Amino acid sequence: MAMFYERRIGSFPVLERELQHLDSDAGIRALGTFEDRPCFIFVTRFVGMYTAMVYERGGTKKTPTVGKRILAKEFGSRGEVATFLKAIMPRKVEAYLY
């Protein structure tokens, strides 16, 4: 039995829609590149504020590892966090709702 629920998000419009409906016990994990380094991006929402935390991505493609935190930033709206994500995520979105 799975310990948690995870659903793949395959496009940026779907990601934006999920951001709008994100509740306090859910989050989004995505792959991206920040300052020319591969990274994981974790986004949560609590009381209307979004928090994006960016971590180094190491390991291999088959077994990636989460490294040191690079950035933690808060956003007051879905549009602000979406703009940030669009700048650091590749065109081919690889993200998961958990």
How large is the average pLDDT for residues 62-88?
A: 96
The whole-model pTM stands at: 0.91
Question: How many alpha carbons lie under 13 Å from residue 84 in its C-beta half-sphere?
Answer: 21
pLDDT the model gives residue 3: 53
What percent of the chain has pLDDT above 70? 96
Domain segments of the chain as ranges: 7-97
